[in-house]
Structure formats: structure tokens, C-alpha cells
Structure 1
Amino acid sequence: MKNTFIIAAAFAMIPFLAHAGTLVFPSDAPIASVTIPDAWGPKETISGIEAKSPDSAIYFSIDVATDKDMDKVIDEAVKFLTDNGVTIDAATQRDSGDVEINGMNFGSIEFDGTDADGPVEVSLGFASPAEGKMLVVTYWGTKATQDAHSADLGGILKSLKPSN
């Protein structure tokens, strides 16, 4: 996806047809839910959820932050990327603008970068599912193959909802 972090695809794609499970996270005090295809191997982490496309070309995570630890959560997401060999080109930073997803304003900043497989796109997205809570969405995708996953990614993002 070019410069849009799959936001446009989220609203243009039909619901994905693969078997998928809905994760409510964090499980001890749910803030949000998301539906991710089973083939992506979704799992809960200490601070949210994560998944990888079946070919490992796409990494996707959603971490829960509070107003107080938002900067720390973002720093940890960037550290995770760099620890996994992603080099982010800060000069390519662009803002996707805001869209509404299931009642939440969602915006992201995007970057070009590289990893061991070549050119990648990296995005950090943000949505607030509840007062004082924030979702930090980390996306890292191999540019050569990410378009093959646009339907799944659109469905994942479109399924993101605040918990009731």
C-alpha cells in the first residue's frame, strides 16, 4: 500500500473469507477487540496482540497505552522494529490523516525503510477506544509482497472495535 497504511483498503474491501478469530484484549481488562485470520497466528502479548502474515511478509500488532505511558509504548514499538533489523528512514515520514473506524478516530504516521528482505513500509497508527486509553498499531510490511495481503489487512483494521 502506498502512503495509506491500508486505511483506504479497510473501507473498500469486502469482509475477508478466511477463518478468523476475534481477540478481546487485554484479556484481564478488555479495551478493544479485533478479528484476525487464524493463518496469521494471532496471539495476546503483555500489552496487546500481534500477528504475522502466513509468509511472514507482514507484522501487525496493537498495543494498549494510557495517557501516562503512551510515549513508552511508542518507544517500545520502535525498539522492537529496530531490534528486528528494520531501518526507518525518518526523512520519508508522512501523515495519513484521520479516518473513523467503528466510532474511533484513527490516524497514522508512515515511513519507508529497509530490513533484511529489502524495502519495507512501516506505520504507527493511533486510536482511542476509551477515555485515557490509546491503541498503538504497529505495521511492518515488505513492499514487494504487501499488496497480496491488502484484503486481510483491510479486514483486520475494519474489525478493530472498542470493547463495551
Structure 2
Amino acid sequence: MRRRQFLLGLAASGLALKAAGAVAAESFPFTLSDEDWRRRLSSDQYAVLRQEATERPFSSPLNAIKTSGLFHCAGCDNTLYSSATKFDSGTGWPSFWAPVPGAIANRTDYLLVYPRTEVHCANCGGHLGHVFDDGPPPTGKRHCINGVALQFKPGPVT
């Protein structure tokens, strides 16, 4: 078996396990039925927040936001990130070096075979993106977040 086939098989098995419910279900304070999520969210928001898709890089208008304000979960309006922690990572997705305390939940995903830290809204469990160890000081973290999963509300930040 060639290496590529092996890796694709591993990735597919991870997707199958997740689809089959083999990944432990988590509970969150804000919950809706799948039907209600579909009504509440646009198709792109649903794909990212509820199915863990990734938007195309450089497609989010939130990349260009340089105004003071807060970034909220597009699914439940939970405050997630402050503009004070936003930076231009050059990756094509809104990036932050730290979340609002208590706003996110992490878990490890193996969909690309190697482990990555997945970022979810702590309130509704919506998939936001991933966190990497190549960000700026003071944390050294890069929260690479899908813009479609966020709503920006301009205003002062504390």
C-alpha cells in the first residue's frame, strides 16, 4: 500500500468514526436541534459551526477589521475574542493570540492524521477553527478562526 493511500485511509476512518458518533458527545449550555441550527444559520455558517468545515482563506471580510470591538459566536452570540488580541497572521483567516477567558473549549482532532487543537465555542460547541503554537507574544498562540463563525460588534474593549 502506498503512503498516500494509507494516509487517506486513516483520514477517512477518522471521519467515519466521527460520523458514526464514536467521538464522545459533549454537552454545552446553549443547545438547539439540528433543524433549529439549520434555520438559525446560513449554509456556510452551518457547515463551519455544526459540521466543522473550513471557509476558503482570504474570503472573510473580518480579516480587514482593525476597529475596536468584540468578536461573538455567530451561532449563539457568546463573546469569544477581543480586537485587542487580533493580529494579521497572513494565513487568510482572522487570527487572535488569546480568547476571552472562558469563552472557548478545545479538543484534539486527527482529521489530517496528525493531532491539531480544535477550538469550539464554550457556550454552544460551534466549531470555530484551530489553535497553533506559532503566534506572537505574549502567548505564542495563533487562534486561526473561520470568519463565518464570528460576528463583529464594534465598541470599546476592556
TM-score clears 0.5 = no
Structure label with greater radius of gyration: 2
TM-score normalised by L of structure 1: 0.27
Q: Using CA pairs below 8 Å that are at least 6 residues apart, which structure has the higher relative contact order?
A: 1
TM-score normalised by L of structure 2: 0.28
Q: Which structure shows the higher strand fraction?
A: 1
